[in-house]
Amino acid sequence: MDSGSGEMIVEVGKAAEAVSEEGETSSFLYATESLCMRCGENGTTRVLATKIPHFREVLLMAFECPHCNERNNEVQFAGAIQPRGCLYTLKIPSGDVKILNRQVVKSDSASIKIPELDFEIPPEAQRGTLSTVEGVLMRASEELEALQEERKKIAPETAKAIDAFLKKLRSFLAGEGSFTFILDDPAGNSFIENPHAPSADPALSISFYERSREQQALVGFVPEPDQTEPSLAASQPAAHGSVGSVSSRRTIAQSDSEEAAAALCRYTAPEEVLTMPSTCGACGARCVTRFFATKIPYFREVIVMATTCDECGYRSSELKPGGEIPAKGRRIILRVQNVADLSRDVIKSDNAAVSIPELELELTSGTLGGLVTTVEGLVTKICENLQRVHGFTFGDSLEDDRKNKWLDFKERLAKLLNMEKPWTLIIDDALSSSFVAPITDALEDDRQLILEEYERSWEQNEELGLNDMDTSMAEAA
């Protein structure tokens, strides 16, 4: 094991203490001899495989050399790669030094960018770290400055440019100027803290995206293409109706195949299931997609698609809207008053925003992706997602008021699911691709369900790509 593969700024001891808060052991499970990259002698690497509460499985590694006293620590993710990549964009205003203390989890596959400096930290430059915004940038500054004396002798112009860059970077860290901190992770395992959670953060935006083939190779889903041989994309014709990583952003929902089928067949059982050639979104192999069209009452015609790959075992189930893009967006307001309301079917599209005013909870567009579930299932998944990305910060270092805020939120959420008092679920979908089933046979008789249509703003149309859509040729035809 190469101990010089990357020195981590996370302290393993502190991480172990945080883990022990939930009853985990802080003793190392495995120790092995490793080569010291400083003196060439053998040192010892201790490895702990554990789970950070409410986050994911990790490997904590600490190396120590008794010959030269070299020490370094590292954290690597051992859990599953997420279905989609994540992109965090944090706007840091001038003079706000406190925002630099936000915690950052950066996985091995994530890159960091600062557009104002035309600066990027590629995945290989800094491996998995648990730090803060300031810590990540300070480490990058120190690594750039480490070889400046040698650069001044060999390439003085380059050293001069780096000095100017470091001066501007340090001015940002001192609060002298606004900049943007972008964290892009194709594996979806990175995170930037939101101190206002579960409410939305005006300075932080989060988006999720389908991985490209190159990003699939980066996270290890597909092998690197051989440069001497034609690529898979070039050797195989483009499959009609490809799904997975190259699926259209118009997908309404992705879910477990059996779960989606059980929910959808309550409305219409397929009379005929059609098939078409497709491409696996994980390994790129040829596979078959099965689909059928059905009509959901009070909603629209939809196309149910299911894909399985015999090569890697990848499975996906998708629901795509039929017909044209609606001219208006739709806001669904459900007043949940009894236990029966928790069983209402819900289709949440991947571009829908969700809010619960009683909890002061707001989920931006793209959070959780698309879902075919129930009202209870939707709220449960929201809770699980918040615990996954925020709850791992529980520990000795967490301020009491923030810890009490999270405990109070979880208590209020449990009361909602136990129906101790009525509450409101709001789903805002600019593409009108989300749906909540009425509890009565006639939609107008359901007094608890309100559907509001609204005109999309220019910014919403721009985000959805509708401003650049030209349908003049289709209309002429």
Q: Which fold has domain 85-209?
A: Jelly Rolls (2.60.120)
Q: What is residue 79's predicted lDDT score, i.e. its pLDDT? A: 63
Domain with CATH 2.60.120.1040 in the chain: 85-209, 329-464
d(CA 361, CA 332) in angstroms, rounded, equals 16
Q: What is residue 390's predicted lDDT score, i.e. its pLDDT? A: 55
pLDDT tens by residue, the chain, 477 residues: 444 333 333 333 444 444 434 344 344 478 888 889 888 899 998 888 776 544 557 777 888 999 998 888 777 766 667 777 889 999 999 888 888 988 888 888 889 999 998 889 888 877 777 788 998 888 888 888 888 888 888 888 888 888 888 889 888 888 888 899 999 998 888 888 888 776 778 888 888 887 887 887 777 766 544 443 444 444 444 333 333 333 333 344 444 555 555 555 555 555 678 888 888 876 778 888 888 888 877 777 888 888 888 887 878 777 777 777 888 899 999 999 999 999 998 988 878 889 999 888 888 776 777 778 899 988 888 877 776 655 444 445 556 777 777 778 888 888 888 888 899 999 999 888 888 989 887 788 888 999 999 999 888 888 777 877 776 776 676
Q: Which fold has domain 3-77?
A: N-terminal domain of TfIIb (2.20.25)
Q: What is residue 227's predicted lDDT score, i.e. its pLDDT? A: 42
Predicted confidence (pLDDT) per residue in 20-43, tens digit = 343 443 444 788 888 898 888 999
460 token code pair: 């919403």
Q: What is residue 425's predicted lDDT score, i.e. its pLDDT? A: 94
Q: What is residue 52's predicted lDDT score, i.e. its pLDDT? A: 56
Indicate the CATH number for domain 238-321.
Answer: 2.20.25.420
Does the domain at 329-464 match CATH 2.60.120.1040? Answer given as yes
Domain with CATH 2.20.25.420 in the chain: 3-77, 238-321
